[in-house]
Chain A
């Protein structure tokens, strides 16, 4: 089955700096890669996703990049703000056509004012 590794497990940045979270996946047939943000005590919320037919996608201060050859994808947050503090999860679908997701173990991002 699919295996998703996520690094780092914790990340602290100064407000205004950039943050990068990286994930690797094992199934070369995976074609959908979402990112979720979970604030303390809340549900995970989908913030951005990318499909395997594109290499990069941006939405305001967040972007995701995908390297299919290396089987890794990354979340980039620019101009970080205190409200970006949360746990971020990456995920991948285990094979094209699959309607399941396999999640990474999460990265706790702390933005220091």
Chain B
């Protein structure tokens, strides 16, 4: 499982509250990614990182921010959660120049 963990694994929150999801890896990989998975949409890239403090936006970045202050941790923040952000969030690490990606176990987030 490429040493990837995500926390929390499940979270229920209310609209308007801030939420931070954490992805942690133990193998010093340079590339890390946050995706969301929704029925009928597959996996969509939110943000990605190509090194400490180096991040960029993906396809569906509105309403999300990220931070990477250490190689092993990549944080995804919803500043003010909305019901449309109810989803399963997967973190991934990239090897072989980032193309080969391996996923964490996922976080199921429900925004009421």
Binding site for B on A (CB under 8 A): 1, 6, 32, 34, 43-46, 49, 89, 93, 97-106
Contacts and interface: CB of A to CB of B under 8 A. Distances in A.
A106 B102 CA distance: 17
How big is chain B's contact interface, by range? 20 to 34
A53 to B, nearest CB: 14
25 contacts: A32-B99, A34-B100, A44-B43, A44-B90, A45-B103, A46-B100, A46-B102, A49-B100, A93-B99, A97-B97, A98-B98, A98-B99, A99-B97, A99-B98, A100-B33, A100-B45, A101-B45, A101-B99, A102-B59, A103-B43, A103-B44, A105-B40, A105-B41, A105-B42, A106-B42
B95 to A, nearest CB: 10
Interface of B: 31, 33, 40-45, 48, 50, 58-59, 90, 94, 97-106
B103 A43 contact: yes
Interface of B is mostly: strand
Given A43-B90, A99-B94, 9 more contacts: A6-B42, A46-B100, A46-B102, A99-B48, A100-B58, A100-B98, A101-B45, A101-B99, A104-B42
Top 9 closest pairs, chain A to chain B, by CB? A99-B98, A105-B42, A43-B103, A103-B43, A32-B99, A103-B42, A106-B42, A44-B103, A93-B99
